[in-house]
Each structure stands twice: as C-alpha cells, then as structure tokens.
Chain A
Amino acid sequence: MTTHHETWTPEQLEHPARPESAAHTEQSGQSEHSAQPQPLLDVTGLRIAYRTRRGQVEAVRGIDLSVARGSVTALVGESGSGKSSAAQAVIGLLAENGAVTGGSIALTGADGVREELVGLPERAWRELRGTRIGLIPQDPTSSLDPVRTIGASVGDPLRIHGWRDRERIEARVIELLERVGLDDPATRARQYPHELSGGMRQRVLIAAALALEPELLIADEPTSALDVTVQATVLDLIDELRVATGAGVLLITHDLAVAADRADTLVVLRGGTVEEAGPTGKVLAAPSAEYTRTLLSDAPSLRQIVDRAPHRPTAGEAPLVRVRDLRQEFHRRGSGEPFVAVDDVSFEIPRGTTHALVGESGSGKTTTGRAIAGFRAPTAGSVLVGDTEVTQLGTGKRLREFRSTVQLVHQNPFGSLDPRQSISAILEEPLRNTRRGNRAERRSAALHHLELVALPLEVASRRPRELSGGQRQRVAIARALILQPEVVVLDEAVSALDVTVQAQILRLLARLQDELALTYVFISHDLAVVRQVADTVTVMRRGQQVESGEVGRVLEDPHHEYTRQLLAAIPGTERAWGHHHRATTDRAESGRSTPVPHESAPGGHRRTASSEEITAS
C-alpha cells in the first residue's frame, strides 16, 4: 500500500458517508409514522470501491435492493458482477482495501426502528453481526475451524455475544444442531469438521448463523460447492428455517435456476449495476433487460442452450470405445480392505457420439475417465479404444503413442495451463513431445487450432493469466485437439465457468464434434447440461453403475431411484419431492410453461426455445 493511491484519509475510510447517513436517520424518524412498512433491509444507491495498484476500482455502482421480512431476495450475477461485494457491505466485512463510497444500507428492526449501517463504527457492527445479521458462507469445507469441534464453532456466536453459562450454551448448540436436521446432535457436537460431509458441514454453518436468531440471513452462494442432491436439501432447509423464524434472506447466487426456485424477488447484477429487478415470476416470464434474456437462455436447467442433432451410430459399425467390467481399487494405508472407486462398470460409445458419465463427488466418474485415457491401469476389466486394449499398454512407448488417440480436458482451466508459457508454446508442446512437424508447421497448427476454438490470433503470444476462464478453457480444448485425437475426455470441463461462458463452450464443443467427428466422454455432475449435450449416459453412484443407456430413455424414464433423485434435484425444475411453500403465486408461469421466444443468443444461434423442450426430458 503505497502512498499516492491513498486518496482517503482514515476518517473517511471509517465513515465514508457520514452526511448521508445522518440524513437517513432523520428520514427514519418520519418513516416510523408512515403507513408503508419499511423493508427489513433497504439498500439504495450503494457504491463500493476498491483501492488497487491501478487506482480506485468501482465494483458496485449504485445498486438498489430490498429484502422484506420473511422473504427471499436473490442477487444474481456472474463472477465480477459485484454481488459478493454488495453482500459483504451489508454485513460490514468488505476486504481491507474496499470501502462503501456512497449510498445507504438500512436495517429496520421488528420494532420499526430504522438503522443506517453505512458509517457504523466497528464496535456497533460487531454487536450487529451474528445477532441481527447472520451469514451462511460459500464454502463449507474451509469455513469451519479445522482444529475445533463442531460444538465449539456453533457455540461461538453465543460466547461472542456474552453467553457465559456453559451448560446453557451446550444445550442451545445441541438444540440448533437438531434443528438443522443433524442426526445424533450430541455426538456431532463433539466431532471435528473433517469427520462430516460437505452437506453436513453446511448444515452446521447454518446452525451457527441461526444461533441468535438474526432477522437477516445472508446466504453467499450457500450451495455452489455442494453436490446437486445435497444442494436441494440445504436450500430446502434454509427455506424452512426462514418460514419458521420469519427472517429475511439475501441469497447471493450465480445460478439463475436456484434463484428462480427460491427467491421472491430477483435482482440481476452485471458490472456493478442492476440490470433488472422485480418479482421472480415477472422477471423470468418477461425479462426486460437483454442481459437477463441472455442469462436465461444460457441456463441449462431452464432453456435449451445447445442446438445439437443427436448422433446415431452408423449401423454395423463397432463402437469406438468399449469399457467392460472396469474395476478400480485403491489401497488405504494401514487398512487391509481396499477402497473400491469403480466397481464393474461397462458401457460402449459409438464413434462420433457423446457419452456422459454422471454422478456426485466420489462416484468414480473421474477414475473411469482416466482409465479410458490410459492414466491409470485399472485393477480389473478391459478398456478398448478402437483396436487398442488400453489396460495392456504398459507404461512405455506404446502408451505414449496411444496418448494422441485419447486426450483429456480438465475442470480447472487455471491449474492446467503452465503459467510461464505463452499460449502458442502451450499449444505446440504436444506436437513437440510427439515430434510432429517442424517449427513452422507446429506454429501454423497452433494458430489453426486457435481459430478452431474461436480465439483471436493475438492470443498466441499471451500468457494464461492474461486470459479469462472461458478463454483458458478454449485453449485447453485446442491443446487437446491439436494431436487430432479420436476421443476427448472432458472432465467437468464446463463446471467452473459462468453460465454464459459455459453455454458458449458447450456450443463450441458441439460444433467441433460435428466438424471433426469427435467422440466425447463427458464427465459431469450436472444432469441439466448432460441432457443437452450427450447421446448416451452412465449414471454412477459410489463406484457403481446405477443406470446406463440413451440419454432420452434414462432421463425420461429413469429406472433407478438415484437417477430420479438426481433429476429432481436439478434447480429450476419442479421438484417432485420437497415442500414448496411459496407466497408468490405467479411462480408456476415463471417461464416454465410459457414458451419464450428467443431472438438471438450469443454465438449467433437463432432459435425458439420453449420450455416444453426442457420439461419433456
């Protein structure tokens, strides 16, 4: 932090909007007498700026939103839209270099007293946090102190806010754990975070947020790190508790489908400004902003996002990939029993089609994908790609030659590209490794593949960090294709991307498949995506193959209970189970039964997407 950027004095940093806040407190005096009840949280004209090396950067530029008592307002936007900054400002926990530079955040208690939060001294903030505003954080794995017990973490807010009686705290902790649906709460309280699953940890965090029954709950991407089925139950829990306690919920999410299911009011954010706001049903049925329409048309669970002719195998041709009785065991240290990651999985993939491997974390789908790519010899079974028995390749030259037949694209485009190499060097590397072509040929192949994945040629000389996540994933795809493989294993290749970028990449993959006659193994946890891009699917659970077959058949007429669960858990669809107690009535027509015409979508696809296409599946 050097000096010339510091345009704010410490006093300003602490009380950046003093005069305005004074004005609001005066207003509040009047509003108490006005007939209209004040919303629980009222944010008007909020501006947030960060001091950075490049000077002051405004992340939020004057947004308005409000949360009514007992209702859910969803703040929807992609990464960089300023939704998290707004949430942090509401609980007074902006990063060190951030500050509210304008606007007002007002909290109105049940007693009707309106309190201005902007410019509140730290001490007053601390009294508010946990008692009147609760936070449900994003990542349950790292949001609990790993060296303290669950009970200690849940009891924290009580102790922080002055509870001293040990027995009373303990009783309250157990009551809270029971309330969020954890079995055997007394035992859970003595356990440590690593002994609980992700979903259970999120329940624990919800319990801690509720400890002092705050009026406002901020749920910051509460389920984006969880499996779909768990996501649905956790969101149900938040709903239930909201109804029971009458708290207002500010739900921050990148997933329009989640917001569509859960929120009464939608606020769509982009680049720090509100693109559109209104009752959920209205916004979804008749979005007024172009950006909202794009978001809607790119959400795989709400709309058909990829135009793709289903690929039928040519009659009489043998399938390109044949997996038979695949079994993979891992040895656990100090335990005689091996861990079975994949147990008797068999499927076939005809040439030029997409086969999806679907399951939650730990289901063995990645292990299966890696076996097809020849990265790990399985314990038993056979993997045939063309005429090559992948399991018999050993580790030498034959395996290296086989590598050009099957290529892998990873989930994380940030970790899979060498940060020190230029993009062209990254693309040429596989060619150099396999000693193909001369320098000029490799160079032209690299440029050609950049073109193929629709990246501008200038990208060639850049480094990965200069590219966005979507661009990096395009580079990763180009690198996989440069060896002209027959099979590409896409391991959660679009899961880490924003919806609009995800839609673009999915369309790119569909186009490349048609142009290059590629065969895809599409590993995903997201059935909404799978049903749009895959021809056949294998549903996996805990290493077992639960169901396998054509996508249409499996998803329309699931034979296995687990497939039905997965389908029901997709946000944005009417969930078969669960208890929907919504106040808003127009939800039913929220873009699910009304056909929504689509003029255009990025990528130049002209089409009309009707919701029948989705509900049909």
Chain B
Amino acid sequence: MAYVRRRIGGALLVLVLAFIAAYILLAALPGDAVLARYGNPDLGLTAAQLAEIRAAYGADRPQLVQFFETAGSFLRGDLGYSIQSGAAVSALLAEALPSTLTLAALGLVSAVALAVAIAITATHPGLRGHRAARALRNLLRGLPPLMVSLPVFWIGIVLIQVFSFQLGLVPVLNAGPIESLILPVATLAIPIAAPLAQVLIRSIDEVLAQPFVSVARARGATNTWLLSRTVARNAVLPALTMAGLLFGELVGGAVVTEAVFGRMGVGQLTAQAVAARDTPVLLAVVVISTVVFVLINLVVDLLYPVLDARLRRSDAAAPTRRAAVAVR
C-alpha cells in the first residue's frame, strides 16, 4: 500500500537526518572527549602523548571519514565504546534501558489514564445540570493548564517532600521495586497528562457540538452511549497525534526524574555523558530515542486510516463528492 510505503520512507529519512544532525552537533562541541578525559593536568600527559591517544581512538582523521565510519558501525549495530569508562555503549544501554523503559511505559500509561479521566469528567453532558457538578467541571477544566505550567523537577521535589518526608507514605530509602516507582511515575505522568487532557477536552467539546451527536441523541442515545460509541472515536484522533509527540517530553522528563529520584537509567546515563562529553554514549542515546520516537509516530500515522475511514483513500481514489466540492 502506497500510504504505508510513503510513511515508512519518511520515517527512515527522519532517522538519517537526525543521525547526521546529532553527529554534527556533537562534533561541533568545543574540545573533544580525549581532552575531557586525559586533558586533566594532574595526569601530566604531554601534547605529544595526547596526540598519540587521539590517533589510537582514530580521532585525528578527517571528520568526514570519522562520520562514515561511525555511521557504518551504527548500521552494523556496533555503538562504539564509552570514552569515559571504556565500556561498550551497548552494554551500558542494556543495563540502563529496562529501568527507564519501565518508568516511561508506566508514566505514559498513567498519563493517558489520568488525561482520559479528567477529559471525560470535564465534558460529560450529564454533569451539566447541577450546580455542584458544574463546579467540578470547571475545576477539572482548569486543572490541565495548571499542570502544564509545572516543571518536572519541581513536581518531583514536592511529591517527595509531601508523600515521603511529611506523610511518610512512600519510603525514599530502601524502597521496594514497586514503591520506588510510585513517585517517579507520578512525576513523569503529570506534565504529560496535562496537554493530553487539554487536547482531549477540546476535541470532545468539538465533537459533542457536531450535528451527528444531536442526531444520535434524537435516536434516544444516553450520555454514556454518546461518549463511548459516537464521541470517543472521533475525539481520539487529535489526542493520538499529541500522544505521539509527547514521547519527546517523556524522554526529557525521564532524564530529570531519574536525576531527582536518583534512579539509574538512560536519563542518568545521559546526564553523566553530557557532563563528561562522552560523545559515543550521547550519540547512541540520541539515535535510540530518535528510533523510538519515529517508530511511535509511524504507528500513530498508520493507526489514523484504521480509525478514520476518510483517510483510507488510496491515490486511485474513486470520484467522490469531496473532490467535486474542492473543485467548485
């Protein structure tokens, strides 16, 4: 199918461009990793010795040659070696990934659940009649903008302060595997749930105002029926796009969250690599996040035509009314 082929081609192009951009940016950083590790005057290495080390790492060859070599080894699945520790980058990542993936996945799932709960309660037509219900509605509608404006590290610190230190509900030290996840997941979920809830509320409002919703009402539909059968599928489309884009937020949030809660993971690894100018690690992290980001958005793109038949039209579209209208 041409649509799928076009999307996959686009995704691959994005990957290649992201790799090139990341490489150029990292190469443009002042100083190099060799200098960062061995440049310390305490080691007492001479300039000649440093040049030797560079030659050993292949860092003295022209940038273009280095670029293609790195690209080639990435394609083979060889992510290189950390300059800082000398360990294989793939091994470092393999160690850090599971914990981060758990955090990210749980964060995303709770964010979606939270957003859906807020959006449905805030838009439920059954909650329009009574004064108390209207107050709740307005409160919930005010919540997402507030949540968007809170920085992740601040949420993390407040959560630790309140739930661990003051209420003593969740231990910070010597926490079990599940207990240690509660607060980081909450920290991560809140800023992601907020824009999602905002988009959902807006699109549910829009769909509820559509004539086909009043038609369904005129057939005797209940509010629950309306939300689950008619509104949900129409309103989920914009939210889906948003969810795909929010993955970027998830990566950034994971870095900060892991730093605040002192969890080992890709976030911590990244933070350390930045501090040490550990280019191979950074490049690997960037490429891996790009791959995941592109994959998620590819899935979103491919889901669209499944959910909305109007986007299913292939290039050899049958003559439709819409074409005629566009022409008019």
A interface residues, Cβ below 8 angstroms from B = 1, 10, 13-14, 91, 93, 96, 126-131, 133-135, 137-139, 142-149, 153, 156-157, 160-161, 192, 194-198, 205, 208-209, 211, 330, 332-335, 339, 341, 361-362, 364, 366-367
Contact = CB atoms under 8 A, between A and B. Distances in A.
B130 A195 contact: no
Interface string B306-328: 01111000111111111111011
Given A145-B230, A160-B220, A339 B317 contact: no
B211 A142 contact: yes
B217 interface: yes
B320 A93 contact: no
26 contacts: A13-B129, A14-B129, A91-B218, A126-B222, A129-B220, A134-B218, A137-B214, A142-B211, A142-B212, A143-B211, A143-B215, A144-B215, A146-B234, A147-B307, A147-B309, A156-B216, A157-B220, A208-B219, A209-B219, A333-B315, A335-B315, A335-B317, A339-B319, A341-B327, A341-B328, A362-B321
Nearest to A148: B233
Contact of A10 (B130, B216, B310, B325): B130
B324 A160 contact: no
A160 B234 contact: no
Nearest to B237: A147
B76 interface: no
Interface residues of B, number: 41
Interface string B234-245: 100000000000
Contacts of B327: 330, 339, 341, 362, 364, 367
Contacts of B307: 147
A160 B219 contact: yes
B309 A194 contact: yes
Contacts of B40: none
A361 B211 CA distance: 22
Report which residue of A147, A153, A194 has the largest number of chain B beta carbons within 10 angstroms of its beta carbon: A147
B210 interface: yes
Interface of B: 2, 128-131, 134, 210-212, 214-222, 225, 229-230, 233-234, 307-310, 314-325, 327-328
A147 B234 contact: yes
A205 to B, nearest CB: 7
Contacts of B211: 137-139, 142-143
Interface of B is mostly: helix
Contacts of B310: 146-147, 192, 194
Contacts, number: 120
A143 B322 CA distance: 16
Nearest to B214: A93
B26 to A, nearest CB: 40
Contacts of A157: 219-220
B268 to A, nearest CB: 43
B215 A137 contact: yes
B221 to A, nearest CB: 5
Nearest to A142: B211
A127 B234 contact: no
A77 to B, nearest CB: 20
Given A130-B220, A160-B219, 8 more contacts: A10-B131, A93-B218, A138-B211, A139-B211, A143-B215, A144-B212, A161-B220, A362-B328
Contact of B219 (A156, A334, A366): A156
A198 B324 CA distance: 12
Contacts of B323: 332, 339
Contacts of B215: 135, 137, 143-144, 205, 208
Nearest to B322: A194
Given A10-B129, A137-B211, A194 B221 contact: no
Nearest to B308: A147
Contacts of A367: 327-328
Contacts of A144: 212, 215
Nearest to B315: A334
A86 to B, nearest CB: 15
Contacts of A153: 212
Contacts of A362: 321, 324-325, 327-328
Contact of A361 (B131, B218, B325): B325
A157 B221 CA distance: 8
A128 B221 CA distance: 11
Report which residue of B134, B219, B225, B233 has the largest number of chain A beta carbons within 10 angstroms of its beta carbon: B219
A129 B217 contact: yes
Report which residue of B215, B233, B307, B315 has the largest number of chain A beta carbons within 10 angstroms of its beta carbon: B215
Contacts of B314: 334
A27 B134 CA distance: 38
Report which residue of A126, A197, A330, A333 has the largest number of chain B beta carbons within 10 angstroms of its beta carbon: A126
A130 B309 contact: no
A128 B328 CA distance: 42
**Closest 7 CB pairs between A and B?**
A334-B315, A362-B324, A135-B218, A130-B220, A130-B219, A129-B220, A192-B309
B324 A361 contact: yes
Nearest to B319: A339
B315 to A, nearest CB: 3
Contacts of B2: 334
A449 B225 CA distance: 55
A364 to B, nearest CB: 8
Nearest to A332: B323
A195 B320 contact: yes
Nearest to B2: A334
Nearest to B213: A145
B137 to A, nearest CB: 11
Contacts of B214: 93, 137
B328 A142 contact: no
A129 B320 contact: no
A449 B134 CA distance: 51
Nearest to B221: A160
A14 B327 CA distance: 48
Nearest to A201: B321
Contacts of B318: 195
Contact of B128 (A96, A148, A195, A366): A96
B126 to A, nearest CB: 9
Given A142-B212, A147-B309, A128 B220 contact: yes
Contacts of A197: 321
A147 B210 contact: no
A128 B111 CA distance: 40
Contacts of A198: 321
Given A13-B129, A130-B220, A160-B219, A143 B212 contact: yes
Nearest to A366: B328
A1 B134 contact: yes
Contact of B316 (A133, A143, A160, A335): A335
B280 to A, nearest CB: 43
A145 B212 contact: yes
Contacts of A339: 319, 323, 327
A18 B128 CA distance: 21
Contact of A160 (B225, B315, B325): B225
A195 B309 CA distance: 10
Contacts of B233: 147-148
Nearest to B309: A192
